[in-house]
């Protein structure tokens, strides 16, 4: 399941991130790639600088943790620090799947997130292309918006031909490992939230609320 999260960051947050990144050092993105990904990866990533990384993560994590749509779709258990990447003309990232284990073996990657940091009309190319059972899905969102999708999906970033593509990336271990189950829970939670807002005392709302809670209890891994 591919889910867009609009306006995850507000314009002030985006401006602050871009201000921090403007004077920062970027290095070859292949330094963080696995053996297979190194062959198809051509981008740049923010160099390791604990102070800069801490400032950026503080900005982004505050919004991610408070976003109801993100929590409902992902059911996050563990979240990696964000990686900030840029693509300039000629850069791309070929077909790959994300590493299954990250953080030195500390967590499993169930869900990948791409957070867009500049407007889509400021660069050409650079679409995130995710292979799904219904064909390839191209994603290129407004600054501050994000997309989440199963980390096991084959995906690539199309070559940038003009301008600069700037994104933040993270990976999440979900309380619910299987994407089909997360999709079912997300859809059920949307219905549940609607019923709890519009008819909280109805028997329908109570039944859907119980069903959601018990399915999550059945499938969650701690």
- CATH number, domain of 93, equals 2.60.120.620
Regarding whether 161 and 106 lie in a shared domain, the answer is yes
pLDDT at 173: 98
Quote the percentage of the chain above a pLDDT of 70: 100
| 73 close to 182: Cβ distance less than 8 angstroms | yes
- For residues 56 and 8, give the distance between their C-alpha atoms in angstroms, rounded to a whole number: 14
Calculate mean pLDDT across residues 17-24: 94
Taking 80 as the threshold, does the pLDDT of residue 36 lie above it?
no
| 174 close to 75: Cβ distance less than 8 angstroms | yes
Regarding whether 191 and 123 lie in a shared domain, the answer is no
Q: Which residue has the tokens 């709890």?
A: 196
Calculate mean pLDDT across residues 181-189: 98
Quote the percentage of the chain above a pLDDT of 90: 90
CB proximity list for 191: less than 8 A, separation 6 or greater: 208
The dihedral over CA atoms of 171, 175, 181, 184, expressed in degrees to the nearest 10, equals -90
Calculate mean pLDDT across residues 59-79: 96
pLDDT at 38: 83
Taking 80 as the threshold, does the pLDDT of residue 35 lie above it?
no
Regarding whether 141 and 88 lie in a shared domain, the answer is yes
Task: Give me the phi and psi of 89, to 5 degrees please.
Answer: -50, 130
Structural domain count of the chain: 2
Calculate mean pLDDT across residues 67-95: 97
| Stronger pLDDT, 33 or 146, i.e. the higher one | 146
- 84 forms beta bridges with 168
Regarding whether 91 and 30 lie in a shared domain, the answer is yes
- For residues 2 and 5, give the distance between their C-alpha atoms in angstroms, rounded to a whole number: 10
Tokens of 25: 């050092």
Regarding whether 113 and 185 lie in a shared domain, the answer is no
DSSP E strand boundaries for the chain: 3-5, 26-28, 41-42, 44-46, 76-79, 83-87, 92-96, 101-102, 107-108, 111-116, 123-125, 128-132, 135-139, 146-150, 155-157, 160-163, 165-174
Q: pLDDT by residue (tens digit) across 94-136?
A: 999 999 999 888 899 999 999 999 999 999 999 999 999 989 9
Task: Give me the phi and psi of 59, to 5 degrees please.
Answer: -65, -50
Regarding whether 160 and 107 lie in a shared domain, the answer is yes
Regarding whether 204 and 165 lie in a shared domain, the answer is no
Q: Which residue has the tokens 């921090």?
A: 20
Regarding whether 83 and 124 lie in a shared domain, the answer is yes
**Count, residues in the chain:** 222
Regarding whether 118 and 150 lie in a shared domain, the answer is yes
Regarding whether 115 and 28 lie in a shared domain, the answer is yes
| 4 close to 145: Cβ distance less than 8 angstroms | yes
CB proximity list for 217: less than 8 A, separation 6 or greater: none
pLDDT band with cut points at 50, 70 and 90 for residue 34: confident
- For residues 71 and 77, give the distance between their C-alpha atoms in angstroms, rounded to a whole number: 10
- For residues 131 and 157, give the distance between their C-alpha atoms in angstroms, rounded to a whole number: 12
Q: Residue 185 belongs to what domain range?
A: 179-219
Tokens of 55: 């400032």
- 59 forms beta bridges with none
Regarding whether 183 and 156 lie in a shared domain, the answer is no
Regarding whether 104 and 79 lie in a shared domain, the answer is yes
**Least confident stretch, 19-33, 115-129, 169-183, 190-204:** 19-33
């Amino acid at each position: 399941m591919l889910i867009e999260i609009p306006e995850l960051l507000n314009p002030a947050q985006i401006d602050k991130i871009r201000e921090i990144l403007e004077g920062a050092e970027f290095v070859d993105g292949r330094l963080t790639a696995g053996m297979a990904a190194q062959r198809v990866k051509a981008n740049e990533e923010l160099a390791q600088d604990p102070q800069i990384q801490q400032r950026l993560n503080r900005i982004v994590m505050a919004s991610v943790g408070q976003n109801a749509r993100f929590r409902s779709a992902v059911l996050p258990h563990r979240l990696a620090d964000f990686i900030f990447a840029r693509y300039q003309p000629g850069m791309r990232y070929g077909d790959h799947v994300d590493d299954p284990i990250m953080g030195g073996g500390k967590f499993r990657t169930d869900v990948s997130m791409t957070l867009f940091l500049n407007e889509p009309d400021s660069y050409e190319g650079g679409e995130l292309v995710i292979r799904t059972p219904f064909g390839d899905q191209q994603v290129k969102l407004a600054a501050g918006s994000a997309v989440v999708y199963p980390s096991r999906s084959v995906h690539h970033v199309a070559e940038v031909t003009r301008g600069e593509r700037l994104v933040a990336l993270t990976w999440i271990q979900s309380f619910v490992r299987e994407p089909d189950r997360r999709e079912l829970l997300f859809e059920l939670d949307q219905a549940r939230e609607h019923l709890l807002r519009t008819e909280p005392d109805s028997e329908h709302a109570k039944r859907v609320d119980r069903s959601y809670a018990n399915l999550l209890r059945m499938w969650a891994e701690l």
